[in-house]
Every structure is written in C-alpha cells, then in structure tokens.
Amino acid sequence: EIVLTQSPGTLSLSPGERATLFCWASQSISSTSLAWYQRKPGQAPRLLIYGASTRVTGIPDRFSGSGSGTDFTLTISRLEPEDFAVYFCQQYGTSPLTFGGGTKVEI
Amino acid sequence: QLQLRESGPGLVKPSETLSLTCTLSGGSISSSSYYWGWIRQPPGRGLEWIGSYSYGGSAFYNPSLRSRVNFFVDTSKNQVSLKVYSVTATDTAVYYCARLPFWTGYYYFDNWGQGTLVTVSS
C-alpha cells in the first residue's frame, strides 16, 4: 500500500503567517489522486482540496495545494484564527485508500 | 445540507461484533452517484480506510480488514451500517462515515460525519 508521511507533525504559527504542510508518498501517485482535509475538535473533517490543487467550492483562496509524483504541499497563505486545526492528506489513486498521519497547526 | 451522523455502542467486548450506523440527512443513500465509506482512527494513530460501498451492492475493502467487515444499506431509514466481527483492542478507534462522490471517478470523501468513539474492552 502507499504510505503517506506528513511533515511537520506540529506547526506552531501566529495568525497572519504562512503555513506550509507537506505530504510525501512512498511511491508516485497521480496528481489527480491526492486530497487534503481539515479537522477541528468535535467537528466532521472537511474536504479542502482534491486533485492535488483543486479547491472545493466555498474554501477560501488562502488555501492552495500543489505537487506531483511523491511530493505534495498544502499552503495556507495567511492564517486566520479558524484555520488552527489538524490537516491530513489522502491518496485515492491506488487501493487501499490511505491517509497521512496529519499535521496539527497550532497557535 | 448533507449531514452524516454515526451512532452505536461506545463499548464492545473483545471477540464480539462492533455495529455502527450512519444516518444521512439532506440526501439519499440510494443515489447511484455516491459510495459510502467508513474510516477509523485508533488513538494516537493515523486514519485508516475500512472500505466503501454503494447502494447497488458494489464494494471495495481495505484488505487488512476485509475478512472481518461487512456493510449494509437500509434505504427505508436512509442509513448505512458497518459490522466488524471478532473485535480486539486494536479495533478501538473513532469511526467515521463519509460520502465518496463516485460519479467523479475519484475516490476522495466530500462529506464526513463527526465520528464516534468505540472502545473494545472487557
């Protein structure tokens, strides 16, 4: 199975700063097969980006995704207070579907 | 607005069957455009996909769990259900149900429930 490794495990930043989150795959995956999610305590996870770079309708444009092959990135250009959460990536190009371990973005 | 809500016992004894239900509101379980998936997260570990299935009966599973898992659909209640058989402590996790927009040809999850914690302990 494809193992996704996310880095860093925790990112300590302040509102207004830029956050860069990484997701590395153990083997190459199609750029159309990588998604990013946000999860806040007590809430359902929310799909942010699919196809590595396509933002879901309603997701602010401060969220952007990029990458290909084995290296993918989620960037939050300017952190808002509501962005402090856990983010995880998922590959859906190969079964079994797999997820990364998550990056916690904290103040 | 689509909402998914997981429900079921929070405590299951070892060797017994874990049964969870996901109730859908704001949409139909029987839509041919979507699959329904279960994902879990054991304490201190990452998310693990259990499997996904459609109203029509098509399903695909994580091989690591395939022999102990079964899925069910109840259209009268707009629910999907998961059973995990012969559970052990390693099945302790927060369990999520989620919708997979099969019609896109891509298997990400566009709507999730909040999750429910199931603890396996005697």
Q: What is the pLDDT along chain A (107 residues), one digit of tens a residue?
A: 999 999 999 999 999 999 999 999 999 998 789 999 999 998 999 999 999 999 999 999 999 999 999 999 999 999 999 999 999 999 999 999 999 999 999 98
Alpha carbon distance B10, B121 (integer Å) = 10
Alpha carbon distance B47, A18 (integer Å) = 26
A27: helix, coil or strand?
Answer: strand
Please name which of B99, B47, B108, B13 lies closest in space to residue A39, comparing C-alpha atoms.
B47
> Taking CB atoms and an 8 Å limit, are B108 and A50 in contact across chains?
yes
Q: Looking at residue B32, what is its pLDDT?
A: 86
Q: Which of B5, B94, B109 to mutate to test the interface with A (most CBs of A within 10 A)?
A: B109
Please name which of A31, A34, A36 lies closest in space to residue A88, comparing C-alpha atoms.
A36
Please name which of B40, B66, B61 lies closest in space to residue A96, comparing C-alpha atoms.
B61
User: Which residue in A44, A51, A102 is closest to B114 by CB distance?
Assistant: A44
Residues B106-120 pLDDT 10s: 999 999 999 999 999
Q: Looking at residue B113, what is its pLDDT?
A: 97
The alpha carbon of A63 is separated from its chain's Cα centroid by a whole number of angstroms, namely 9
Residues of A in contact with B69 (CB under 8 A): none
Amino acid at B62: N
Residues of A in contact with B63 (CB under 8 A): 96
B57 contact partners, CB below 8 Å, separation of at least 6: none
pLDDT of B55 strictly over 90: no
Alpha carbon distance A9, A32 (integer Å) = 25
B68: helix, coil or strand?
Answer: helix
Amino acid at B47: L
Please name which of B114, B30, B44 lies closest in space to residue B79, comparing C-alpha atoms.
B30
Pair B120, B93: CB distance under 8 Å: no
- A107 burial (CB, 10 Å; 0-12 / 13-18 / 19+) is exposed
A96 contact partners, CB below 8 Å, separation of at least 6: A1, B49, B61, B62, B63, B64
Residues B57-105 pLDDT 10s: 889 999 999 999 999 999 999 999 999 999 999 999 999 999 999 888 8
Q: Looking at residue A49, what is its pLDDT?
A: 97
Q: Looking at residue B6, what is its pLDDT?
A: 97
Pair A21, A41: CB distance under 8 Å: no
